Amino acid sequence: MPDFSHTHALFPIKDNLVYLNNASIGALSTRVTAAVNELLNDVQQQGRINYPNWCRIADTTFKANIARLIGAGADEIAFVKNTTEGILIVANGLDWRPGDNVIIAEQEYASNVYCWMNLARRGVEINWVPLDGGRVTPEAIAAAITPRTRLVSLSAVQFWNGFRADLTAIGQLCRRHGVLLNLDAIQWVGALDLDVSQYEIDFLSAGSHKWQLGPIGTGFFYCRRGSLETIWPQNVGYHSVDKSEDHLDYDFRLRPNAGRFEEALVNFPGLWGLNAAVEQLLELGTANVERHIMALNDQAIAGLRTLGYDIVSPLGAGERSGVLAFRHPDLPVAELEQRLSDAGVHLAIRAGNLRISPSFYNDSGEIERLLAALPSARG
């Protein structure tokens, strides 16, 4: 397991809690909060003076760093407030026709459901994919594709059990059928290594407040270069167009990149924090982060099995993620959560299971504290 002990001092939350809920809201490092304050202090002291510089840095350096994080080009990145905003860019931007359908899986996170239900007013239908033992399989998606299928939209990692989708097989399936692929990747980015250039992904969205350990209200939207013209921005403002600072020049030419989906001022303080979080991940290496998280979950799985707990998360080759769901065979999860909370261990309840989601700043001693606070299920 990689040694990330040098990061521990950057996370004050470790002084108070065993925090194992990064799949909900990740803890902020002092680097991130310092970066946010840097921009706020700039505004406090200088007002608008450095505004052109903020725009340049965000549009070049910050997007380039995000692009490195996921193996994309900087021109394929747009800033969004959250994952939902990115999904809505796709949902509302496609040229739907009555009778078209979108494929989504059962037990999807709500953000990847309501936006498609809302398209019923335009005659768009949903083809639901049943789960197979908590898994979204390429075979089930293939069975749901019809001649009117325009898009498959799914979570790269399922929030409630941590199942990791087979992006290679699903992407190739979509390409063979001429279907677009949209991913909610908030439970992937920051926990698992990712290179979008290796997959047939058209669109991907990820808020930064979970595994990226970035500020709430920041995130990014990836639009594959070759898929840019398949969606039309529904929210268009002065940042969407390719123009000068002359606000009386109404030459309507959309920016020739994903920046067209940024209609106006972005959250600069939040983006300063997001970039600091991304830089942390780039310095550590996302493959190293993934190995560290998997090692902690391996430790948890072994200990939970010794205690007699049921592991709910799929554990097959290529199926695991940073999310680990489990349950006691008899005791209610609310009782167990309270017991853990009393011991200073924080996790989540999802779909009737306990869920842990350790990050790179967590360590094996914290997993031991989790296990020590749980009652045995072996009588």
* pTM across the whole model: 0.97
Residue 186's pLDDT band, with cuts at 50, 70 and 90, is very high
Task: Give the residue range(s) of CATH 3.90.1150.10 domains in the chain.
Answer: 5-28+285-373
Residue 244's pLDDT band, with cuts at 50, 70 and 90, is low
10-26 pLDDT, tens digit each: 999 999 999 999 999 99
H or E element that contains 203: strand 203-207
**Quick one: pLDDT at residue 57?**
98
Q: How far is CA 317 from CA 234, 321, 374, in A?
A: 40, 11, 28
Q: How far is CA 27 from CA 33, 97, 161, 291, in A?
A: 11, 43, 21, 19
Where does residue 252 rank: exposed (0-12), middle (13-18), buried (19+ CB within 10 A)?
Answer: exposed
Q: In whole angstroms, give the CA distance from residue 180 to residue 186.
A: 19
* Percent of all residues in the chain with a pLDDT value above 90, rounded to a whole number: 96
H or E element that contains 349: strand 348-350
Instruction: Report the mean per-residue pLDDT for the chain.
Output: 97
**Quick one: pLDDT at residue 243?**
75
Fold of 5-28+285-373: Aspartate Aminotransferase, domain 1 (3.90.1150)
Q: In whole angstroms, give the CA distance from residue 140 to residue 135.
A: 10
The strand pairing partners of 129, in sequence order, are: 105
Task: Give the residue range(s) of CATH 3.40.640.10 domains in the chain.
Answer: 32-283
> Top-level CATH class of 32-283?
alpha beta
370 sits in the region (left: phi over 0; alpha: psi -120 to 50; else beta) called: alpha
At 195, which amino acid appears? D
Mean pLDDT of 340-347: 98
125-162 pLDDT, tens digit each: 999 999 999 999 999 999 999 999 999 999 999 999 99
CA 185 remoteness from chain centre = 4
Mean pLDDT of 178-204: 99
CA 354 remoteness from chain centre = 20
Neighbours of 264 (CB within 10 A): 10
**Quick one: pLDDT at residue 128?**
99
Q: In whole angstroms, give the CA distance from residue 355 to residue 247.
A: 50
